[in-house]
Amino acid sequence: MQVEPPSRGQGLSLVRLPTPAAPALHGALHASSTEGPSSAASAAPRLERSYTGQDRPTLLVRNAYPRPQHVFVDWQRVGTVAPGATGSFELTVGAHTITSADSADPDDNPSSVTEDFEAGYGYRYQILAR
């Protein structure tokens, strides 16, 4: 398990969980906390992947945080996921930054992770309260 510590006193951290059934990763996960106001109950995302054999990568976003989370792919808003709900998004192959924020402003208490999304995989992004 790889953990990126919060930066500048921010209450966010990113965790990548190993997926034992999936083939080995081709390259490292690049995780980073983004700048934003500090919050005692900030959202901490987790990104996992599993082999599905599908042509295009998909991203399932599960929001376990008590506030609705706005989801951005490469800083473009793609949707909102309510607390306890899951949203599904199709991605193109390649590197993308996934960001969740407390509002339609991607800089409102954001948390981000960058991953190289590959064909044949489904990705799960969980937003968890710390």
Sign of dihedral through CA atoms 127, 86, 28, 116? Answer: negative
Q: Look-up: residue for tokens 């998004």? A: 89
> Distance (Å, rounded) from C-alpha 37 to C-alpha 58?
30
> Distance (Å, rounded) from C-alpha 95 to C-alpha 74?
9
Hey, what CATH topology would domain 2-129 get? Immunoglobulin-like (2.60.40)
State pLDDT tens for residues 55-94: 999 999 999 999 999 999 999 999 999 999 999 999 999 9
* C-alpha gyration radius of the chain: 14
pLDDT exceeding 90 applies to what percent of the chain?
Answer: 56
The predicted model gives 112-116 an average pLDDT of 92
pLDDT at 45: 60
Beta bridge partners of 124: 48, 60
State pLDDT tens for residues 23-40: 322 222 233 333 333 343
- Give residue limits of the domains in the chain: 2-129
Backbone angles phi, psi at 16, to 5 degrees: -110, 120
pLDDT at 34: 35
pLDDT at 78: 96
The predicted model gives 45-64 an average pLDDT of 91
